C-alpha cells in the first residue's frame, strides 16, 4: 500500500488524476497522521471533514469525467492567518479565539477551487510576529528535527509559519500556505529542510489574510520540493480586485516553465551578507550553493548591496508601525475577545481587552509602532525608515545590472532550541537579517535546503530574484535541489 | 467686504474665521466598499465586511468618489493634484471600526482654489470677496453611537461608516458671521450645481468645523478655537457670534483663549469646551499601506472637466446677457434647482423675460403660500410653458393667466392637474379680439359715465385707467387689453 505521507503535491495530483488511488484515501491517511502528531502542536484546529469533503468532490469529478483542478486531491495545511469560512481563524491570538469568519480568503478560496482540501489550521507566531513560533497563544510548535547528539531538546520550527514548516517536515501534509512579512516563509522552511517561496509583493491577494504589515505581507507556498512550490503558487496567485495592491497580471505557468539549466544566468553574491563571525556551517553551505549553481551553467559575480545593514532596523520600524495601526481593529467592540471589567467605560474596555488578548511580543510591536509614528518621532523613525527602504530597493535595482539572481543564506544559523532566544528580542530579530531586504524591496525570494549543520540540522539557501521573475528563482532552486542531494529527514519520535 | 467689529471695553476687535466643511460625496456606494450610502435605513443594514473592519478586509477606492472630488475642485478653480495619497488617522472610538480613519493629510487630491462670495447674493450691488480654499481631501465618515437604546450600553450603527466625505478647508479669510454664511451658501450652491454633494445639512450631508479667533484690527492672529460639527448656516453664524464675543470678553477680563475643540449648543446658542489641546489625540498619521497612491491621468481629468455643468457665476452672466435684470439673474442662479427649472422652461420655448418674471412672481409666490420648495412644485416646467405660451400668443391675457394658474394648482391639489389650454377651453377664457363687441361696450360705458368723460377730456388723464378697467370688466376680462387701449384712445380723443 502506498505511504501517502511520502508523496508530494505533484505525485498526489498525478496519482489521483491517473486513478492510481483515490483522493479520499490520501485525505484519510493524512488526517490520521495529523491526528497522531499532536506532540508537534502544528495545528490549532484540525478539519478532517474538510479534507474528506474536498477529496470526495475530486473523486466524484474524476468519476464523472470532469476536468480536475491544478492540485485536485491534494490535502494541505492552512496557516491560521488565512480567514476560512466557518472555521475558526485566530492568527494564534487569544483576542481572536473563537472567531469564525463568514468569508474565505482569496488565496484559500483559490486553493479550494483548484481542488485542494484542508487538513486544518496551522499554528503560527501570534499575528505572524516571531521567528520561532514561540509567541502563539496556543503554545509552541515543536520542530520534528532533533540534534544528532542524542539530545531530545525541543527545537524551534522557525517562524512565523512554524506550524506549516513543522507539519510539512513531519510529513503531515505535502504542502501548506505560509505568509512572509520579513522571512516568515523562508526562515521556517530553512529550519526544517523544506522549500518555500515568497513571490513578488502583489502576486497573492492579501484579501482575507489577517494583516500584520500590509506593505510587506505576502502569501506563498511551502512544500518539500521546488516543483511542489511551483504548483502551489500557481494555484494561490492571481489578480484580485478586492486587494488594491494586487498585481493585475496573468499567473505564469511556473511548473511547466521549470528548467534547471542556468546557462546565461548570472548569480550575484552580495558581499554584505558575509557577516563578521558568520557561522562556519552557513559559510560552507553558501560556498556549496555557489558551486552547484556554477555546475548548472550559471556565471557567478560578486555584487554589493551597500545598504543591507540598515535593512533590519528599517524593517523593525516599518513593520511594527503598520502593525500598530492594523491591529487597532481588535478592540472588543465587534468580534473576538471582550474584557469588560465591572463599571468599565469604553477606554477601560479597550485597555483590558487588548492587554488580555495580545501576547507579549504583539504588545511590544504595537508599542514600538505607536512610538515611531508619534508626533515628534515620525520623521526620525518612520520617514527615515522609508528612505532606507527606497535605498534597499535601489541597491537591488543596481545589482540587476550585473546579475539575474542573488544567492545568500536564508538564516544566519540552524534551528535553535525553544526558549534559547525568546528572552532577548534583539537576538531573535537578528534571525531575519538575510530575509528582510527582499521583503522591503517586494522581491520574490525562496529558500531551498542547502545541507546540514554539524548538529545534523537543516540549513537553507536563499535565492532572490527580480520582481515578477519567480520562474528564475524556482529554476535556480531546482538546480540546487538536483545537486545538493538533500534527503535528510527528521526521525519520527512523536 | 463687511466691516464686522466687536466693540470691547478696550476698543474694537476683528474676527478671523476659517471653515472646514465636511460634505458627503454623492455616490451610490461608500468610499472603500460596495455598501449603499442610502440615508435613513435600518441601523447596520448598510455595512459590509470592510465597513465593519473584519480581519483581513481591505479597502478598494471608489473611483466615482474621487471623480466627484476632482470635479468639485475644478468648479472652484483649484489645483488638481495628479498624485495624491491616502493616510491613516489613528484613534480609538467605538464608531470607528478600523481604529483609524482613512483620510488624506500629506497629499490631498485637490490643492488651492477660491470661491467668490457676496454678502447678499440676490443684490447685484452687494460687494464681493474672494475666500481662499486651502485644500479638498477625501476621507471616510465614521459610524454613529446611540446612547438611548439601552440603560447601560451604547449601541453602534455603522451605516455611515466608510461613507465618502470631502473636507473643504478654507483659508482664514472670513471676517464676519455674515461672510461665513455667504461662503457656506455659495459653497453649497456650487456643490449642488456640480452634483458632488446634495448639501442637505439637516441630514448631515454637510457640516462645518468653525475656527474662530479675535484680534485687534490688523494685529497678530489670536489663539483659535475650533467648534465642531455645526449643522446649519444659522447655527454656524450664531456660533461665530457667540464664540468671538466670548473670546473678546475672556481676553479683556485678563484671561487667555485656550486652543481647544468646542461644541455648539443650538438650544442655549453657546459653545462649550469639548477637549483642550492637552487632551488632543496624537493621530499618528502615516500613508495607508493597503492603498496605492491615486494617480489621475489626462483622460480622467478631461472627462471630469467635460462633465462640469455651467456654474452659478457663469450662468448669471449669461442670463444678464439674455436681457434679464441683474436681480432676476442672481435669484435664478443662486440655487441650482431654480436655474435648472428655469432652463427647462426656456427649453419649452418660453421667452426668457416672460419666464423669469412668471417664475419669480407667480410660481415662487404660490410655492411660498403652500410652504413648498421648487422640488415639490405641483406644476412642472412643461405645464408652465403651455400656460405662458397661451399668454405669448395672445390667447389669454396676463390676468386671465393668473386665474388659469390658480385653477391648475387647485386641480393639482385635487390629484390631477388640468392643462392650461383645457382650462381656457372649458371656462371659455379665450381672449377676444372682436373690436365690434368691445366698441359696443365702450359706447355703453361712456354713456353711463358722461361726467367722467368730460373730466377726462378736460385733462384728468388718470381716468383712462378707469375706462380700461370698466371695459375689461364688461368684457369679463377676456378682451385683448391692447385693443381696449387703442379703441379707448380713439373715442376718448
Q: How far apart are alpha carbons B419 and A226 in whole angstroms? A: 82
**Across the interface, do A335 and B289 touch by the CB < 8 Å criterion?**
no
Name residue B208's beta-bridge partners: B21, B230
For A47-104, strand residue ranges (E) read 75-79
Structure confidence at residue A349 (pLDDT): 95
Q: How far apart are alpha carbons B396 and B402 in whole angstroms? A: 10
Calculate the alpha carbon distances from B178 to B118, B134, B174, B182, B239 in Å.
10, 21, 9, 6, 12
Q: How far apart are alpha carbons A222 and A488 in whole angstroms? A: 17
Which residues of A have a catalytic role annotated? 79, 160, 184
Structure confidence at residue A326 (pLDDT): 98
For residues A377-406, average pLDDT? 98
**Across the interface, do A105 and B56 touch by the CB < 8 Å criterion?**
yes
Q: Quick one: closest CA in A to B280, which residue?
A: A375
Q: How confident is the model at residue B278 (pLDDT cuts 50, 70, 90)?
A: low
Which residues are CB-contacts of A438 (< 8 A; sequence separation ≥ 6)? Answer: A198, A396, A444, A445, A462, A464
Q: How far apart are alpha carbons B35 and B51 in whole angstroms? A: 8
Structure confidence at residue A377 (pLDDT): 96
Percent of chain A with pLDDT over 90: 95
Is the model's pLDDT at A66 over the cut of 70? yes
Dig out the grid coordinates for A233 from the structure. 503558487
Name residue B129's beta-bridge partners: B117
Is the model's pLDDT at A1 over the cut of 80? no
Which residues are CB-contacts of B33 (< 8 A; sequence separation ≥ 6)? Answer: B48, B50, B51, B59, B60, B162
- Bridge pairing between strands B100-103 and B294-295: unpaired
Q: Which domains does chain B have, with CATH numbers?
A: 6-300 (no CATH), 310-427 (no CATH), 435-492 (1.10.10.410)
Q: How confident is the model at residue A428 (pLDDT cuts 50, 70, 90)?
A: confident
Query: What are the strands of the beta sheet with B87-90, ordered from one edge?
Result: B100-103, B87-90, B286-287
A271 touches B: beta carbon within 8 Å: no
Burial class for B5, CB neighbours closer than 10 Å (0-12, 13-18, 19+): middle
Is the model's pLDDT at A256 over the cut of 70? yes
- The mean-pLDDT minimum among A405-419, B3-17, B241-255, B265-279 falls in B265-279
Secondary element (H or E) of residue B167? strand B164-170
- The mean-pLDDT minimum among B3-12, B41-50, B445-454 falls in B445-454
**Across the interface, do A241 and B286 touch by the CB < 8 Å criterion?**
no
Q: How far apart are alpha carbons A408 and A432 in whole angstroms? A: 13
For A224-366, strand residue ranges (E) read 266-270, 299-303
Residue range A167-196, pLDDT digits in tens = 999 999 999 999 999 999 999 999 999 999
Residue range B109-130, pLDDT digits in tens = 999 999 999 887 667 678 899 9
Q: How confident is the model at residue A147 (pLDDT cuts 50, 70, 90)?
A: very high
Q: What share of chain A is helix, strand, coil (3-state, %, to 5)?
A: 40, 15, 45
Secondary element (H or E) of residue B271? strand B270-276
Is the model's pLDDT at B277 over the cut of 70? no
What residues of B are in contact with residue A328 (Cβ under 8 Å)? 90, 92, 98-100
For residues A135-143, average pLDDT? 98
For B111-161, strand residue ranges (E) read 113-118, 128-140, 144-146, 155-157
Structure confidence at residue B1 (pLDDT): 62
What residues of A are in contact with residue B291 (Cβ under 8 Å)? 244-245
ipTM of the complex: 0.96
Is the model's pLDDT at B2 over the cut of 70? no
B49 touches A: beta carbon within 8 Å: yes
Q: How far apart are alpha carbons B291 and B60 in whole angstroms? A: 7
Q: CB count, 10 Å around CB of B458?
A: 7
Residue range B438-457, pLDDT digits in tens = 888 888 988 888 888 888 88
Structure confidence at residue A44 (pLDDT): 98
Rounded (5°) CA angle B24-B28-B29: 80
Residue range B397-453, pLDDT digits in tens = 888 899 999 999 999 999 899 999 999 988 888 877 778 888 888 889 888 888 888
Q: How far apart are alpha carbons B312 and B488 in whole angstroms? A: 47
Residue range A465-491, pLDDT digits in tens = 999 999 999 999 999 999 999 999 999
Residue range B231-265, pLDDT digits in tens = 999 999 999 999 999 999 999 999 999 999 999 99
- The mean-pLDDT minimum among A60-69, A355-364, A457-466, B318-327 falls in B318-327
Q: How confident is the model at residue B211 (pLDDT cuts 50, 70, 90)?
A: very high
Is the model's pLDDT at B339 over the cut of 70? yes
Name residue A198's beta-bridge partners: A445
What residues of A are in contact with residue B99 (Cβ under 8 Å)? 325, 327-329, 331
B230 vs A277: which has the higher pLDDT: B230
How would DSSP label each residue in B302-342? HHHHHTPPPPHHHHHHHHHHTT--HHHHHHHHHSHHHHHHH
**Across the interface, do A373 and B92 touch by the CB < 8 Å criterion?**
no
Amino acid at each position: 500500500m502506498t505511504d501517502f505521507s511520502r508523496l508530494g503535491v505533484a505525485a498526489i495530483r498525478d496519482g489521483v488524476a491517473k486513478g492510481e488511488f483515490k483522493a479520499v484515501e490520501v485525505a484519510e491517511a493524512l488526517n490520521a497522521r495529523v491526528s497522531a502528531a499532536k506532540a508537534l502542536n502544528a495545528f490549532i484546529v484540525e478539519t478532517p471533514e474538510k479534507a474528506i469533503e474536498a477529496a470526495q468532490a475530486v473523486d466524484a469529478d474524476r468519476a464523472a469525467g470532469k476536468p480536475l483542478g491544478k492540485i485536485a486531491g491534494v490535502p494541505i495545511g492552512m496557516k491560521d492567518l488565512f480567514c476560512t469560512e466557518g472555521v475558526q481563524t485566530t492568527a494564534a491570538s487569544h483576542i481572536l479565539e473563537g472567531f469564525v469568519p463568514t468569508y474565505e480568503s482569496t488565496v484559500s478560496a483559490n486553493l479550494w477551487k483548484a481542488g485542494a482540501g484542508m487538513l486544518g489550521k496551522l499554528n503560527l507566531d501570534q499575528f505572524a510576529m516571531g521567528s520561532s513560533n514561540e509567541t502563539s497563544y496556543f503554545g509552541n510548535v515543536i520542530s520534528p528535527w532533533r540534534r544528532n547528539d542524542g539530545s531530545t531538546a525541543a527545537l524551534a520550527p522557525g517562524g512565523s509559519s512554524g506550524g506549516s514548516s513543522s507539519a510539512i517536515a513531519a510529513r503531515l501534509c505535502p504542502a501548506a500556505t505560509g505568509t512572509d512579512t520579513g522571512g516568515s516563509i523562508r526562515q521556517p522552511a530553512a529550519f526544517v529542510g523544506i522549500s518555500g517561496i515568497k513571490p513578488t509583493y502583489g502576486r497573492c491577494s492579501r484579501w482575507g489574510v489577517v494583516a500584520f504589515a500590509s506593505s510587506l505581507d505576502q502569501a506563498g507556498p511551502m512544500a518539500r520540493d521546488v516543483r511542489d512550490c511551483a504548483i502551489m503558487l500557481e494555484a494561490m496567485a492571481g489578480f484580485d480586485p478586492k486587494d488594491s495592491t494586487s498585481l493585475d497580471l496573468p499567473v505564469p505557468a511556473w511548473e511547466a516553465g521549470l528548467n534547471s539549466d542556468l546557462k546565461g544566468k548570472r548569480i550575484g553574491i552580495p558581499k554584505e551578507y558575509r557577516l563578521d563571525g558568520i557561522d562556519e556551517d552557513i559559510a560552507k553551505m553558501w560556498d556549496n550553493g555557489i558551486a552547484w549553481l556554477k555546475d548548472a551553467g550559471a556565471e557567478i559575480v560578486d555584487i554589493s548591496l551597500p545598504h543591507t545593514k540598515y535593512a533590519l532596523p528599517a524593517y523593525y520600524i516599518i513593520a511594527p508601525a503598520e502593525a500598530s495601526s492594523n491591529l487597532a481593529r481588535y478592540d472588543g467592540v465587534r468580534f473576538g475577545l471582550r474584557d469588560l471589567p465591572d463599571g468599565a467605560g469604553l477606554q477601560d474596555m479597550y485597555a483590558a481587552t487588548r492587554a488580555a488578548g495580545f501576547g507579549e511580543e504583539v504588545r511590544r510591536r504595537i508599542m514600538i509602532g505607536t512610538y515611531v509614528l508619534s508626533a515628534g518621532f515620525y520623521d526620525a523613525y518612520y520617514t527615515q525608515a522609508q528612505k532606507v527602504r527606497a535605498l534597499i530597493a535601489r541597491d537591488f535595482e543596481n545589482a540587476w545590472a550585473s546579475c539575474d539572481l542573488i544567492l545568500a543564506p536564508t538564516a544566519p544559523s540552524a534551528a535553535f532550541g525553544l526558549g534559547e532566544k525568546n528572552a532577548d528580542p534583539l537576538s531573535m530579530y537578528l534571525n531575519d537579517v538575510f530575509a528582510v531586504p527582499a521583503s522591503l524591496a517586494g522581491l520574490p525570494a525562496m529558500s531551498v535546503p542547502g545541507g546540514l549543520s554539524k548538529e545534523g540540522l537543516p540549513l537553507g539557501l536563499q535565492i532572490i530574484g527580480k520582481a515578477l521573475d519567480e520562474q528564475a528563482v524556482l529554476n535556480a532552486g531546482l538546480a540546487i535541489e538536483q545537486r545538493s542531494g538533500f534527503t535528510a529527514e527528521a526521525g519520527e519520535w512523536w | 467686504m463687511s466691516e464686522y467689529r466687536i466693540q470691547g471695553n478696550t476698543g474694537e476687535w476683528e474676527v478671523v474665521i476659517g471653515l472646514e466643511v465636511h460634505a458627503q460625496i454623492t455616490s451610490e456606494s461608500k468610499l472603500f466598499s460596495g455598501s449603499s450610502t442610502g440615508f435613513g435605513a435600518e441601523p447596520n443594514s448598510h455595512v459590509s465586511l470592510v465597513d465593519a473592519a473584519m480581519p483581513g478586509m481591505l479597502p478598494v477606492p471608489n473611483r466615482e468618489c474621487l471623480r466627484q472630488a476632482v470635479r468639485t475642485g475644478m468648479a472652484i478653480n483649484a489645483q488638481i493634484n495628479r498624485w495624491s495619497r491616502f493616510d491613516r488617522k489613528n484613534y480609538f472610538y467605538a464608531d470607528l471600526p478600523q481604529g483609524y480613519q482613512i483620510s488624506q493629510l500629506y497629499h490631498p487630491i485637490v490643492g488651492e482654489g477660491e470661491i467668490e462670495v457676496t454678502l447678499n447674493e440676490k443684490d447685484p450691488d452687494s460687494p464681493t470677496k474672494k475666500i481662499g480654499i486651502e485644500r479638498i481631501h477625501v476621507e471616510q465618515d465614521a459610524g454613529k453611537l446611540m446612547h438611548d437604546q439601552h440603560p447601560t450600553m451604547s449601541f453602534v450603527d455603522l451605516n455611515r461608516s466608510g461613507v465618502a466625505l470631502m473636507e473643504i478647508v478654507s483659508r482664514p479669510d472670513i471676517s464676519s458671521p455674515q461672510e461665513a454664511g455667504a461662503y457656506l451658501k455659495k459653497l453649497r450652491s456650487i456643490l449642488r450645481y456640480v452634483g458632488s454633494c446634495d448639501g442637505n445639512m439637516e441630514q448631515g450631508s454637510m457640516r462645518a468645523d468653525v475656527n474662530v479667533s479675535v484680534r485687534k484690527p490688523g494685529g497678530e492672529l489670536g489663539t483659535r478655537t475650533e467648534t465642531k460639527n455645526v449643522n446649519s448656516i444659522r447655527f454656524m453664524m450664531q456660533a461665530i457670534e457667540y464664540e468671538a464675543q466670548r473670546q473678546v470678553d475672556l481676553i479683556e477680563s485678563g484671561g487667555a483663549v485656550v486652543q481647544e475643540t468646542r461644541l455648539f449648543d443650538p438650544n442655549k446658542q453657546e459653545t462649550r469646551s469639548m477637549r483642550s489641546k492637552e487632551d488632543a489625540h496624537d493621530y499618528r498619521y502615516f500613508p495607508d499601506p493597503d492603498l496605492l497612491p491615486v494617480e489621475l491621468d489626462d483622460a480622467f481629468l478631461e472627462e471630469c472637466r467635460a462633465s462640469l455643468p455651467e456654474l452659478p457665476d457663469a450662468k448669471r452672466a449669461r442670463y444678464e446677457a439674455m436681457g434679464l435684470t441683474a436681480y432676476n439673474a442672481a435669484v435664478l442662479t443662486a440655487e441650482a434647482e431654480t436655474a435648472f427649472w428655469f432652463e427647462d422652461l426656456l427649453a419649452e420655448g418660453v421667452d426668457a423675460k416672460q419666464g423669469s418674471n412668471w417664475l419669480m412672481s407667480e410660481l415662487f409666490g404660490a410655492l411660498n403660500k403652500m410652504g413648498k420648495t421648487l422640488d415639490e412644485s405641483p406644476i412642472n416646467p412643461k405645464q408652465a410653458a403651455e400656460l405662458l405660451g397661451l399668454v405669448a400668443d395672445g390667447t389669454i391675457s396676463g390676468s386671465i393667466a393668473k386665474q388659469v394658474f390658480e385653477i391648475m394648482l387647485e386641480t393639482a391639489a385635487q390629484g390631477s392637474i388640468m392643462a392650461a389650454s383645457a382650462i381656457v377651453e372649458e371656462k371659455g377664457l379665450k381672449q377676444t379680439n372682436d373690436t365690434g363687441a368691445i366698441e359696443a361696450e365702450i359706447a355703453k360705458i361712456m354713456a353711463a359715465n358722461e361726467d367722467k368723460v368730460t373730466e377726462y377730456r378736460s385733462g384728468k388723464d388718470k381716468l383712462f385707467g378707469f375706462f380700461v378697467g370698466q371695459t375689461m370688466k364688461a368684457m369679463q376680462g377676456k378682451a385683448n387689453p391692447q385693443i381696449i387701449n387703442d379703441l379707448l384712445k380713439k373715442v376718448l380723443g
